[in-house]
Amino acid sequence: MTPTSVEEKVSPARAASLQHRFSDVRKMSMHLTRLLSVEDQMLQSMPDASPTKWHLAHTTWFFETFILQPNLPEYTLFNSRYKFLFNSYYKRLGGHPNRGSRGLMSRPGLQEIHEYRDHVDRAISALLERSPISDDILDLIELGLNHEQQHQELIVTDIKHALWSAPIPPEAAGATRSDGVAPQLSWTQFEGGIHSVGHAGEGFAFDNEGPRHEVLLRPFQIASRAVTNAEYMEFMTDGGYSRPELWLSDGWDTVRANGWDAPLYWEPGDNRPWLQFDGSRMKPVDASEPVCHVSFYEADAYARWARVRLPLEEEWEVAATRYPSKGTFLESDVFHPQAAGGDGLQQIFGDVWEWTASPYVAYPGFKPAEGLIGEYNGKFMCNQLVLRGGSCATPASHIRASYRNFFPPHARWQFSGIRLAK
């Protein structure tokens, strides 16, 4: 990354605004960990997940590596070994630990990680108080804040998997099963023709959200809400997990190899009513809530069973731009999708990420950013599917219609659900 001079273009009002936002975002990360023990924050239940402590350190490393070192000559590294230890995947920085070994990092301890965060926070605050400060530096700080918000979501999803994976099963709730009724599913029609998609250039966006471009779509319809637990249980009861004709070949092999017969975190209770882990305990599955923690393979199989399909990401974006309804986000402290309510397109944002039928590839004319930041998104454009809309673990200020999340088709530990199209 080329060092940026603080004598370039100046935005004092933006710097002041970012100062407040920086404080809020950093405090939210600590808020999410407040009920977790030191031992909880070391857990890594699978290579795809990371310890809470690592998330707190890595997001701090990002500010130190990309902003403070190149742009604040007097900055002193908190610990020179952290450059390697908390690097995630940036190959041009000279290496990083194996992703699956993050749970072995008993040292540095959690208290030292908190001190590391304080050290970097003070330095970023000092940088933001300088006058003048360039828009290039402010852009990097904005990127760092959005990067931390991504990891806030991962803190929630990763610790949920870790606590569920413990040798002693989570306790079951005493409440009886809820049989709430979701609004009847309906369809919203959209015209075919040429539509513009991608980031429109106002406010922050990741590089993979652009450039804005035109696409040709056939007329399509989008379901008014996400698929519910009750509807998904009908698929299960109809032998959905044992009918190979419903599954993509790789999906069927994955189901067989892993013994899947229900979404992740579902377990049969007494007399086989399904229970679901909500992050703290097992509770009866609520029939009216959106089905959650399903893979792309499961979403696609359900859509085939329902004789419809998953939306293209461009179709989803057109619908979300016109009807930007909102549901449950990270700030609610609920961390569990809630039942839909109302008319029209519901919960297009929040509650569950929605799988699309689109592979995660570059938009026409896409160019990764120059330097190390160019490794942020573009290098993952292979063997992944796009999800849209955010979830109950997504910060509300972090999501927008053009946001493109992406995961491999077998992934289930994210808050991923299903919205249908036809």
Per-residue pLDDT at 11: 67
Is pLDDT at 370 greater than 80 in this prediction? no
Q: Please give the distance of CA 322 from its chain centroid, rounded to a whole number.
A: 23
pLDDT confidence band for 5 (50 / 70 / 90): very low
Per-residue pLDDT at 212: 97
User: How does pLDDT run across 16-40, given as a tens digit for each residue?
Assistant: 999 999 999 999 999 999 999 999 9
What are the residues facing 223 on neighbouring strands? 187
Per-residue pLDDT at 342: 85
Interior angle at CA 167, CA 162 and CA 168, nearest 5: 100
Is pLDDT at 90 greater than 80 in this prediction? no
**Any long-range contacts for 200-207 (C-beta under 8 Å, 24+ apart)?**
200/402, 203/400, 204/142, 204/143, 204/146, 205/400, 205/402, 205/403, 206/146, 206/376, 206/377, 206/403, 206/404, 207/366, 207/367, 207/368, 207/369, 207/374, 207/376, 207/377, 207/378
Portion of the chain with pLDDT greater than 70, in percent: 94
Per-residue pLDDT at 375: 67
Three-state secondary structure call for residue 171: coil
Average pLDDT over residues 228-241: 98
Per-residue pLDDT at 378: 77
To the nearest whole number, what is the mean pLDDT of the chain? Answer: 92
**Which residue bears the tokens 């569950």?**
352
d(CA 153, CA 155): 5
d(CA 157, CA 415): 7
C-alpha distances out from residue 346 to 182, 356, 420, Å? 11, 17, 13
Longest dimension (CA), the chain: 70
Per-residue pLDDT at 377: 76
User: How does pLDDT run across 390-402, given as a tens digit for each residue?
Assistant: 999 999 999 999 9
Enumerate the domain spans of the chain. Answer: 12-164, 187-228+291-417
- Eight-class DSSP state of 222: E
Per-residue pLDDT at 272: 72
Q: What are phi and psi of 222, to 5 degrees?
A: -120, 140
Which amino acid makes up residue 278?
D
d(CA 210, CA 212): 5
CATH class for the domain made up of 187-228+291-417: alpha beta
Q: Please give the distance of CA 262 from its chain centroid, rounded to a whole number.
A: 22
Average pLDDT over residues 92-104: 82
Q: What are phi and psi of 386, to 5 degrees?
A: -90, 135
pLDDT confidence band for 275 (50 / 70 / 90): very high
d(CA 34, CA 373): 31
Interior angle at CA 321, CA 316 and CA 326, nearest 5: 90
Could you tell me if 366 and 386 are in contact, meaning their C-beta atoms sit under 8 angstroms apart?
Answer: no
User: How does pLDDT run across 320-364, given as a tens digit for each residue?
Assistant: 999 999 999 999 999 999 999 888 999 999 999 999 999 999 999
Could you tell me if 197 and 320 are in contact, meaning their C-beta atoms sit under 8 angstroms apart?
Answer: no
The model's pTM: 0.94
Q: Is the dihedral of CA 369, 361, 192, 306 positive or negative?
A: negative
Query: How many CB atoms neighbour CB 97 within 10 A?
Result: 15
Per-residue pLDDT at 283: 93
Per-residue pLDDT at 7: 42
